[in-house]
Structure 1
Amino acid sequence: MNKSPIEIAYDDREHAELLIQRLSKQTNLRLVRKRLKLGDYQINEWLIERKTLPDLVTSLCDGRLFSQVSRLSKSPNNTALLIEGASRDIAAYDITREAIIGALCSISITFNVPILRSLSQAESAKIIYFCATQLNRRKTGVISHGRKPKRYKNQQLFILQSLPKVGPKLAKRLLMHFDSIEAVFTASEAQLSGVEGIGREKARQIRQILA
């Protein structure tokens, strides 16, 4: 049986010819060029913003970085930041290593945006490919049998993420809104659609699989 290719949408303003060329050679992917409001690449419910290391430093110095990251973190989608380049790429920039480390810590901890690192467009292509295949396995129900979360709340979130189109952020919203997994599972479509990020169709799909 032939499997449908995994769709990756990329922003039509993205300038990464080698990266896109490498991805286009993967026979199990389908690339779609479109205008994205946020991020440079979209895979299922995930948005990936790609920044070269010089771009990161420039936006940090002129004050744009944290407003950009804030917009990403407020998206209903799950988001990640892919930083591309090596330290030699910013050797001529007047910025300390400590300032960059501090910014990365803030992005990860304060804004809860995961950071991915690569050295080149070729390596970025590999990272995006790995993300796509892993997200596709989760979407199609092929879940890794690795170590499950041990903490009670993480176990609850892990269970909620098994629901249709429910990622980490939406799982947190559901648990915060209903206080328990049992309340989520017994909620009506109308009650589910009252949670930010869940429309009528998603609420219907959740009720359908729970029933």
Structure 2
Amino acid sequence: MNKTLIEIAYDDREHAEILIEQLSLHTELCLVRKRLKLGDYQINNWLIERKTLPDLVFSLCNGRLFSQIARLSKCSDNAALLIEGSSKDIASYDITREALIGALCSISINFNIPILRSLSQYESAKILYFCATQLNSRETGLKLNGRKPKRRKNRQLFILQSLPEVGPRLARRLLKHFDSVEAVITASTDELIKVEGIGQERARKIREMLIP
């Protein structure tokens, strides 16, 4: 019996050759190049907008960011924002750390859009692969069990599992300890290490990933 492929559609205007090449190495994925009205990638009923850190900062400064986010939040599909890059990429940009923190919190909390973080196209490919396989497994499980997921909690866990070295079990611990994604995003290193399974090094990686 042939295995059903997991489809990932990507916008034909997307410039991410390394990312696409890395995804193409997975034989269980089917990549489809097409024009997407919103987002850069579509997996099942999820749209994922990919922005490099410089593009994020530029769109925040010129006022385009939140109009784009608003359109994503109003679409019939679920939506997530994938931010790619490190603080070195925006070292010369005239923007404060507080402005970025405020923007990330607003996107996550006010618009209810999960934020995924990666350092490179290679890591973005891994995240998209992870998203595709997890969404496919969840959809298959729901069809078999006839159950509807607890959407809000699932979306919160989906956000937290995009953090470095955070799997499903640790994501649940974080959510239980802090009660909300916003609290995790704004938590200090000292606050993070109070959660079982998060040491000083893992907390540092989480802080670096969340706040450029």
Measured after TM superposition, the shift of residue 2 of structure 1 is: 2.9
What is the SS of the residue equivalent to 1:81?
Answer: strand
Alignment deviations for residues 54-107 of structure 1 (CA, whole Å, 9 cap, x no partner):
000000000000000000000110000000000000000000011001000000
Matches within 5 A, 1:1-211: 1-141=1-141, 159-161=147-149, 168=151
- Aligned equivalents of 1:138, 1:2: Cα separation in 2: 20
- Tell me which amino acid in the other structure corresponds to 2:4: S
Measured after TM superposition, the shift of residue 159 of structure 1 is: 4.6
- Aligned equivalents of 2:2, 2:136: Cα separation in 1: 15
What is the SS of the residue equivalent to 2:14?
Answer: coil
- Aligned equivalents of 1:71, 1:111: Cα separation in 2: 10
- Aligned equivalents of 1:159, 1:32: Cα separation in 2: 30
- Tell me which amino acid in the other structure corresponds to 2:57: V
Number of residue-to-residue matches in the alignment: 150
- Tell me which amino acid in the other structure corresponds to 1:19: L
From the CA coordinates, give the structure whose radius of gyration is larger. Answer: 1
How much identity, in percent, do the aligned residues show?
Answer: 76
- Aligned equivalents of 2:142, 2:68: Cα separation in 1: 34
- Aligned equivalents of 1:21, 1:135: Cα separation in 2: 21
Measured after TM superposition, the shift of residue 142 of structure 1 is: 6.8
- Aligned equivalents of 1:19, 1:91: Cα separation in 2: 24
- Tell me which amino acid in the other structure corresponds to 2:148: L
- Tell me which amino acid in the other structure corresponds to 1:65: L
- Aligned equivalents of 1:90, 1:17: Cα separation in 2: 22
Alignment deviations for residues 19-62 of structure 1 (CA, whole Å, 9 cap, x no partner):
00000110000000000000000000000000000000000000
In the other structure, the counterpart of 1:165 is: none
RMSD: 1.8
- Aligned equivalents of 1:40, 1:55: Cα separation in 2: 14
What is the SS of the residue equivalent to 1:140?
Answer: helix
With over 3 angstroms needed to count, the CA separation of the structure-2 counterparts of 1:113 and 1:56, relative to structure 1, is same
- Aligned equivalents of 1:19, 1:52: Cα separation in 2: 13
- Aligned equivalents of 2:147, 2:6: Cα separation in 1: 24
What is the SS of the residue equivalent to 2:141?
Answer: coil
